[in-house]
Structure 1
Amino acid sequence: MAVNPDEVLADPALEARARALSAQLRCMVCQNQSIDDSNAELAKDLRLIVRERLARGETDAAVIDYVVSRYGEFVLLKPRFEGKTLILWGTPVMLLVAGGAATLLAARNRRQRPLVADPLSAEEEGRLDQLLK
């Protein structure tokens, strides 16, 4: 963990809440780590903000909302399920359904086509007989 000893809150319950919140927030420098795991200065600043606001008595949701209002939705490691993100969450499902429907339609069309070719003309039959002799 990247949390420095000088950042740790004296109250174990508040520290546990701070750790839980820090695990949900993305380090804007590293982008693939939570602020709890990152050694970047910005991550440290965010950890201090989280702890400061918790010490003031704010709820977890209020702290998250504050950080999101300053840094945007990208700061959340797991995006919220809202109207804005419905496209993000719904597109894979819609593509899967559309692909399945296209596959079924293609299979149905292939099955309905006759598998027997048109009969040979008299000229073609004569040529075939010559080739087979």
Structure 2
Amino acid sequence: MGTASVVLAGLLAALKVVGGTLADHTYLFLGAGEAGTGIAELIALEMSKQTGSPIEECRPKIWLMDSKGLVVASRIDSLQAFKKPWAHEHEPVAMLLEAVQSLKPTVLIGTSGKGCMYTPTYRSYR
């Protein structure tokens, strides 16, 4: 919970500069391991607290990518249990750039242990 708390604190501090609330943004995580999903869960919990909405209604603002691409509902049977709450309805997407173009996230959070993910020549998250 320590890392998740630090990320949430950073987001809340950034909101003081850019304005709005957590719920006003769309989040895309590059990395959907236990760290990424833990951070996503804390963001969704705080969003739920701020809006008074159930957490299930807050999760669709948060998207995750793993080594197979965007975590989507069509992959639900092959996903680890901690990823399943983050599997949203969307066509499969393998590349980060394609996910960014499709989802238009306002927040990009990197939790992948794989290097060189944000270089101009990197073409997919595989």
Is the TM value for this pair above 0.5?
A: no
- TM-score bin (small chain): under 0.3
Higher relative contact order (CA 8 A, sep 6+): 2
Compare the two structures and name the one with the higher helix fraction: 1
Larger strand share, 1 or 2: 2
Larger radius of gyration: 1
User: What is the TM-score when the length of structure 1 is the normalising length?
Assistant: 0.26
